[in-house]
Amino acid sequence: MKPGDIIENLEVIDIADEGKAVCKNEGVVIFIDKAVPGDIVNVKIRKKHKSFFEGSVHAIVKPSKERTTPVCEHFGTCGGCKWQHFSYAMQLRFKQKQVEDAMTRIGKLESPNILPIIGSAEQTFYRNKLDYSFADRKWLTREEMNVDMPAYEPGLGFHIPGKFDKVLDINQCYLQADPSNAIRLSVRKYCVENEMPFMNIRKREGMMRGLIIRNTTIGGLMVIVMVYQDEEGKLNGLLEHLKNNFPQITSLLYVINNKANDTIHDQEIHCYHGKEYIEEQMENLTFRIGPKSFFQTNGKQALVLYQVAREFAELKGDEVVYDLYTGTGTIANFVAHQAKKVVGIEYVKEAIDDANVNSAINKVDNTVFYAGDKIGRAHV
C-alpha cells in the first residue's frame, strides 16, 4: 500500500481513540474517519506511518446496521461530536471498551469490576457551557470553496481540530439549548454590521475574541463577551444590544483579554448587567456558579454522577471525606450531610469562594475548602 491507493471492500472492525475507525488490509492497521464498525468501505490511503496507515472513506459499499444520519450540518468539519454517525447504544459500548482497555492493557489491572455506563437521557442540547471563538477569516469547507463567495469572511464558532487559529463558523449547534444559538448568531450579525473587527490571533489584531455561554436547568443564563481591546468604545453597544434583545440573560459579563491565550482565570471579569453568577439546583441544594468556576457540563447527568458517587461511598457519618478538584464544592456539599467533615481542594481560588458560598447558602457547616497549587501551597 502507498498513499493514493484505493483499497476495496474493507470491514471496519473497531473504534480507536479520538473516534478514529479501524480496519485492516493484509494484517496492517488503517485508521479512517467517519466510518462505523460494521461498515464495508473502500478506503483511500492518505499517509503511511511505520506500523500503520491513515486513510479516508472513498465509498461506503455497505453501511453498518448501527450507522445513523448525523443531526448536525457541521459534522466532520467541527471538532466536536465525532460519533454522531452511529447509534448512542454503540457509542456507550465502545466508550466502555476504551475504559476497560485502559484499566487492563495500560493499567495492568486484572479483571476490574467495571459496571455498565449509565447513559445520558438526552443526547442533544445537554451542555451547560460552550466557548466560541472569533476569527477574521472563517474556515471554508470544500462545498464553500466550490461556490462563488467572499474569499475572506469572519467567523464565530469552534476551532478546527489541531489548528488554533482556524475557526469554523457555526450556524446551529445541537449541544446547548436555545437561546444559545440565537445569541451567537445575533452577536455575529451585530459585530459585522457595526464594524467590530474579529480577532486575528496570529497577528494579535482585532477586537472580538471570544463568547462564552453558560446556562442552568433552573433558568440561569450567563453570557461572557471577551474582547482583545475595546475599539472606539464599541463594546458597550454590543452589551446593550444583548441586554435589550435577550431578557433571558441573568448574568451579562465582559472581559478585556490582550494575552496570547484565551484563558480568563487570571483576568478581571466585569459585570455589565444582572448578577455576577448563575445558580443550579440539585436535589435540595443550590449551587452558585461564577464565570471562572468549573461545573460538570451536563447538569442533569452530573446529578446522576453525584448520586452514584454518594452511593458508592457508603458513608456512615463518622468519616472525613476529601473532595479533590472540588470546583464549586458540588460533591463536597452533596455528601456533607452523610459525613463528619468534608475537605475540598481546588486550584482556582474563585471556585473556592463559590464553594464557601454554596456551603453557606445551603446551611452546610461541616465543610472546609482550600485553594492551592500542585506543589502543596494552599490557603482557605
The alpha carbon dihedral of 238, 239, 244, 247 has a sign of: positive
Query: 270 and 287: one domain?
Result: no
Q: For residue 160, what is the domain's CATH number?
A: 2.40.50.1070
Task: Work out the pLDDT band at 223, boundaries 50, 70, 90.
Answer: very high
Give yes or no for residue 193 having a pLDDT over 50: yes
Closest CA to 329 of 314, 312, 348: 348
* ∠ CA 81-82-87, rounded to 5°: 85
User: Which pLDDT belongs to residue 333?
Assistant: 96
How many whole angstroms separate alpha carbon 130 and alpha carbon 184? Answer: 10
Residue 50 lies in a domain: yes
How many whole angstroms separate alpha carbon 104 and alpha carbon 251? Answer: 46
Quote the domain boundaries for residue 371: 282-379
Give yes or no for residue 227 having a pLDDT over 80: yes
Task: Work out the pLDDT band at 151, boundaries 50, 70, 90.
Answer: low
Q: Report yes or no: 304 and 312 within 8 Å, Cβ to Cβ.
A: no
Lowest mean pLDDT among 24-33, 212-221, 226-235, 345-354: 345-354
Residue 77 lies in a domain: no
User: Which pLDDT belongs to residue 377?
Assistant: 46
Residue 336 lies in a domain: yes
Distances in whole angstroms, Cα of residue 100 to Cα of each of 70, 121, 305? 27, 23, 19
Task: Work out the pLDDT band at 165, boundaries 50, 70, 90.
Answer: confident
Query: 323 and 195: one domain?
Result: no
Closest CA to 293 of 225, 214, 379, 374: 214
How many whole angstroms separate alpha carbon 43 and alpha carbon 331? Answer: 47
pLDDT digits (tens, 9 = 90+) for 330-372: 999 999 999 999 999 998 888 888 899 999 999 999 999 998 7
Query: 160 and 210: one domain?
Result: yes
Query: 259 and 165: one domain?
Result: yes
Q: Can you spell out the DSSP letters for 11-34?
A: EP-EE-GGG-EEEEETTEEEEESS
Query: 151 and 248: one domain?
Result: yes
How many whole angstroms separate alpha carbon 234 and alpha carbon 230? Answer: 6
What is residue 57's three-state secondary structure?
strand
Peptide bond into 247 cis (omega under 30): no
Give yes or no for residue 304 having a pLDDT over 50: yes
Query: 290 and 363: one domain?
Result: yes
Task: Work out the pLDDT band at 380, boundaries 50, 70, 90.
Answer: low
327's grid cell: 470546583
Query: 150 and 265: one domain?
Result: yes
pTM: 0.89
Query: 157 and 269: one domain?
Result: yes
Query: 255 and 213: one domain?
Result: yes
User: Which pLDDT belongs to residue 51?
Assistant: 92
Residue 120 lies in a domain: no
Query: 51 and 160: one domain?
Result: no
Task: Work out the pLDDT band at 301, boundaries 50, 70, 90.
Answer: very high
Residue 347 lies in a domain: yes
Instruction: From 276, 300, 326, give the residue that closes a domain.
Output: 276
The count of structural domains within the chain is: 3
pLDDT digits (tens, 9 = 90+) for 6-35: 999 999 999 987 778 999 999 999 999 889
Residue 296 lies in a domain: yes
Q: Report yes or no: 289 and 328 within 8 Å, Cβ to Cβ.
A: yes
User: Which pLDDT belongs to residue 108?
Assistant: 86
Q: Report yes or no: 325 and 345 within 8 Å, Cβ to Cβ.
A: yes
Task: Work out the pLDDT band at 192, boundaries 50, 70, 90.
Answer: very high
Query: 171 and 241: one domain?
Result: yes
Torsion of CA 93, 94, 100, 104, to 10 degrees: 140
pLDDT digits (tens, 9 = 90+) for 289-300: 999 888 899 999
- Other Cβ atoms closer than 10 A to 300: 15
160's grid cell: 478546527
Mean pLDDT of the chain: 91
Residue 24 lies in a domain: yes
Instruction: From 276, 311, 345, give the residue that closes a domain.
Output: 276
- What integer is the mean pLDDT of 51-65? 95
114's grid cell: 467495571
What is residue 277's three-state secondary structure?
coil
Closest CA to 203 of 152, 133, 153, 260: 260
Closest CA to 303 of 324, 283, 287, 323: 283
pLDDT more than 70, % of the chain = 96
Q: For residue 104, what is the domain's CATH number?
A: 2.40.50.140
Instruction: From 209, 243, 276, give the residue that closes a domain.
Output: 276
User: Which pLDDT belongs to residue 212?
Assistant: 98
Query: 267 and 143: one domain?
Result: yes
- What integer is the mean pLDDT of 109-113? 77
Look-up: residue for cell 444520519? 69
Give yes or no for residue 80 having a pLDDT over 90: no
Residue 122 lies in a domain: no
